[in-house]
Structure 1
Amino acid sequence: MGGELVPPDQAGDDDVVLAWRGEDVIAVRLPQLADSLDHILAALERKHGQPLAALDRKTKQQVVRALEARGAFAVRHGVETVASALGVSRFTVYNYLNRENAAKGD
């Protein structure tokens, strides 16, 4: 997800400080969620070996499910970012999400 390790004395308010036996050892600086989404999309492109927009519909639906599980749609403009990467409209992304949620309800 693009996190960075920093010395605990350089940790900021948003960093996660990890302690071992009561002593601060390292801090993890997490990227902004929007940056993480870009990293996740790039990783998915590498995994599939092609741009996400070139995937077939079924694979795009699987990508949307995986992104939902990782919280991609909690990010501001997440649906728009994913839609752009997939080469579909945001309404299509919502349809993929609704279809998955309806299937879970069955």
Structure 2
Amino acid sequence: MELEAEFTSEPFRGEGEPPAHAVEAMRAAGHAGLSTDFGPLGTSARGDADALLDALPAIVRAALDGGATRLTLRIQRPGDNDAAPAEPGSVLDRMVREVEAELGSPLRELDRPGKQRAVRLLEERGAFQLRKSVAAVAETLGVTRFTVYNYLNREP
């Protein structure tokens, strides 16, 4: 079984280099063999359930030793977002289908750069102005809402 952890360490820093506590937590996840996605709102780590659960103490310690004053953690099975994909025929569904046609693949099958591009295209089309669209797009992509927010905040 695979699990995904999303963790955010504080204090936040708006611009510039990420704080040491965030970098150290991400490194600890990487050292444990987990795949990571590092962004301005936090980090997600994914991997085998045992490897992820075993790595959590090292991730927490790395963040705290790096100066974090708070660490927020969410663990889930990938794809369990408490969200349904866009309602068939809805405005969001049509936007998603257009982006899939443009990219030549279902969003779930794209690699990470492809998913980042899909999020950018959806943002350009106004998809994220729609209610609950981030959760629906995350489900369609097969990632977490947190990852979609990271993609949105990443420089194009």
The TM-score range, normalised by the shorter chain, is 0.5 to 0.7
Q: Which residue of 1 aligns with 2:138?
A: 83
Q: Is the 8 A contact 2:99 2:121 kept in 1?
A: no
Query: How far apart, in 1, do the equivalents of 2:121 and 2:104 lie?
Result: 17
Residues 1:48 and 2:103 are matched in the alignment: yes
Q: Which residue of 1 aligns with 2:119?
A: 64
Q: Report how far residue 46 of structure 1 moved.
A: 2.6
Q: Report how far residue 45 of structure 1 moved.
A: 2.0
5+ residue gaps, structure 2, are 1-88
Q: Is the 8 A contact 2:95 2:125 kept in 1?
A: no
Query: How far apart, in 1, do the equivalents of 2:117 and 2:105 lie?
Result: 15
Q: Which residue of 1 aligns with 2:90?
A: 35
The range that moved more, 84-93 or 47-56, is: 47-56
Tell me the SS of whatever aligns to 1:81: helix
1:41 partner letter: V
Residues 1:97 and 2:152 are matched in the alignment: yes
The aligned length equals: 68
Q: Report how far residue 98 of structure 1 moved.
A: 1.1
Identity %: 54
Report the TM-score, using the length of structure 1 for normalisation: 0.58
Q: Bigger relative contact order, structure 1 or 2, given CA contacts below 8 A and separation 6+?
A: 2
Q: Is the 8 A contact 2:138 2:144 kept in 1?
A: yes
Report the TM-score, using the length of structure 2 for normalisation: 0.40
Higher helix share: 1
Query: How far apart, in 2, do the equivalents of 1:53 and 1:67 lie?
Result: 14
Q: Deviations over 1:53-95 (max 9, x none)?
A: 1101001101111111111111000101111111110000000
- Larger gyration radius, structure 1 or structure 2: 1
